[in-house]
Structure 1
Amino acid sequence: MHLLHEQGILRCAMDTSDGLAPSLVELAQVNGMTIQVRLETM
Structure 2
Amino acid sequence: MADCQVSDIRGLPVILPDGRLLGTVHDTVIETDGWRCTHVFVP
**TM superposition score category, shorter chain reference:** under 0.3
Give the TM-score of the pair, scaled to structure 1: 0.22
Q: Which gives a bigger RCO, structure 1 or 2 (Cα 8 Å, sep 6+)?
A: 2
Greater fraction of residues in helix: 1
- Give the number of the structure whose alpha-carbon radius of gyration is greater: 1
Identify, as 1 or 2, the structure richer in strand: 2
| TM-score when normalising by structure 2 | 0.22
